[in-house]
Structure 1
Amino acid sequence: MHIPLLIVGGNELDRRQQADRQVAAYTVSSFDLHKITSNEAKKSIGISQIKSLIQELLYSPVQGREKIGIIYELHHATVEAQNALLKLLEEPNETTILIATATRKEEVLPTIVSRCRIVTVQNEDEYVPTQEELNQLDTILKASEGDRMSYAEEIVKADTAKEWINTIIRTLRYTLITEYLQPTTYNLQLLINAIRTLDRAHITLEKTNTNQRLLMENLLLSLDQMPFQ
């Protein structure tokens, strides 16, 4: 049985991106992916939308093993709509994956929050890498393949692989936002591809029992193809 996920914090784009990363961890067809967004004019999610979602998720998956329901900005849902959602949370089935986003968990009914796993995202616009983080990355880029393999082993032994990858992802996003690197020193598409590669690695660590050392070794050895320099 899948525990519902409630993504809070950051801005709306941060939350949507985190939800998309969670979805990417599953092989789900477009027929089995159902999304709810708030009415742009009223900024609300009504009970009819929630009931329609519940009805869709009751059916067996068209392809694969799961169906995913995403509710963007659940805090816009009316109290009646949130109460209707409880039916799905109280009677989950093995094929349903539910993901919701909200500004803060306090803006969602406590009865919903108590049934969800909370994921807090940081507002990427507020993140600025420290000089120590930049120096550490520079050291790795200049290291030999052997030293990178050793560093991968250290990261895994310290059980900080996910945190390390997340730091590099945020550093790259900071680069995109602030143009930390001069436009002539990197290729925009390579930068985007690098973020996607790191995102996939992070999801793999989150969702599978992969060999962490092998994953980190391959990731560190691939840094030459990433647009850091």
Structure 2
Amino acid sequence: MQSILFIGSDVGARNYKLDAWVAEKGIRVSDVYRIANNDSVKISQIRSLTSYLYKKPLSSTHRVAVVYEAEKLTIPAQNAFLKLLEEPPKTAYILLGARNKLALLPTIVSRCLVINTPITKHVLKCKDEIEKLLENMEIKAIFENAESFGKNKETAEEYLHELLFYLQDSFLTGRGVELEKHANLAKQVNLSLRMLSVNVNPRQILENLFL
């Protein structure tokens, strides 16, 4: 099944499952198209997403589209999305997240593998280090962080994914007072993951991320 719908009221847990699925498939950041709107998702965005998916993957076997809050798709956008689901590219995966199936057209739901996401709390292994660093971005702390998590590519990649989850959860749930700053940092994390995929030094990536 190329199209999967994750259902659950716990936004953080649902988003973690979406990102974890992409990571488990080994899809590189350069081949992932994400839509995480705070307001409605319009038909123009779905057209851009469709165009993206029909292009050849850059560095993975497939391209992936992730719509974190599919219930925010407008009706015209849902109709456009339905056309994509009816004839998806062979080298594409399509992931949707929603609070419940009733928010979507039945024809969209019927074309997806539905996975229920239980209410849970993802335990971040690096949560304490992440929160400490975000509160105090002094040069010493930045270099200590890079030394600790930049020992190799695998450790750095795991840390960046955890940091991205923390920032996305903060942004989508409205936690914290520096949402714009966190949103900008999330973009830099995605760029860092892309750099890591082309074998840039892990420690250097983590140092530059916060400088």
TM range, smaller chain: 0.5 to 0.7
**Do residues 86 (structure 1) and 85 (structure 2) align?**
no
Three-state SS of the structure 2 residue aligned to 1:122 is coil
Residue 91 of structure 2 is matched in structure 1 by 95
- Between the aligned partners of 2:66 and 2:12, the Cα distance in structure 1 is 14
TM-score (norm 2): 0.56
Q: Is the 8 A contact 2:3 2:111 kept in 1?
A: yes
How much has 1:9 moved relative to structure 2?
A: 1.1
Residue 116 of structure 2 is matched in structure 1 by 120
Q: How is 1:48-87 mapped onto 2 (pairs within 5 angstroms)?
A: 48-87=44-83
Three-state SS of the structure 2 residue aligned to 1:100 is strand
Aligned length: 128
How much has 1:10 moved relative to structure 2?
A: 3.2
Please list the CA deviations of residues 151-201 of structure 1 after superposition, one character each: whole Å capped at 9, or x if unmatched: xxxxxxxxxxxxxxxxxxx7x68xx9xxxxxxxxxxxx9xxx9xx8xxxxx
Q: Is the 8 A contact 2:53 2:89 kept in 1?
A: no
- Between the aligned partners of 2:10 and 2:44, the Cα distance in structure 1 is 26
- Between the aligned partners of 1:111 and 1:31, the Cα distance in structure 2 is 30
Three-state SS of the structure 2 residue aligned to 1:35 is strand
How much has 1:11 moved relative to structure 2?
A: 1.4
Residue 31 of structure 1 is matched in structure 2 by 30
Residue 3 of structure 1 is matched in structure 2 by 2
Q: Which amino acid aligns with 1:61?
A: P
Q: Is the 8 A contact 2:9 2:100 kept in 1?
A: no
Q: Is the 8 A contact 1:3 1:115 kept in 2?
A: no
- Between the aligned partners of 1:66 and 1:81, the Cα distance in structure 2 is 23
Gaps spanning 5+ residues in structure 1: where? 126-169, 177-188, 197-229
- Between the aligned partners of 1:65 and 1:9, the Cα distance in structure 2 is 29
Q: Which amino acid aligns with 1:12?
A: V
Larger Cα-atom Rg: 1
TM-score (norm 1): 0.52
RMSD between aligned alpha carbons?
2.1
- Between the aligned partners of 2:62 and 2:12, the Cα distance in structure 1 is 25
How much has 1:124 moved relative to structure 2?
A: 1.4
- Between the aligned partners of 1:49 and 1:12, the Cα distance in structure 2 is 21
Q: Is the 8 A contact 2:3 2:85 kept in 1?
A: yes
- Between the aligned partners of 2:113 and 2:105, the Cα distance in structure 1 is 14
How much has 1:28 moved relative to structure 2?
A: 1.8
Q: Which amino acid aligns with 1:121?
A: T
- Between the aligned partners of 1:37 and 1:112, the Cα distance in structure 2 is 19
How much has 1:113 moved relative to structure 2?
A: 0.1
- Between the aligned partners of 2:71 and 2:96, the Cα distance in structure 1 is 9
Q: Is the 8 A contact 2:3 2:93 kept in 1?
A: yes
Please list the CA deviations of residues 88-135 of structure 1 after superposition, one character each: whole Å capped at 9, or x if unmatched: 11112221000010000111110100000001111116xxxxxxxxxx
Residue 204 of structure 2 is matched in structure 1 by none
Residue 189 of structure 2 is matched in structure 1 by none
- Between the aligned partners of 1:29 and 1:11, the Cα distance in structure 2 is 26
- Between the aligned partners of 2:78 and 2:22, the Cα distance in structure 1 is 22
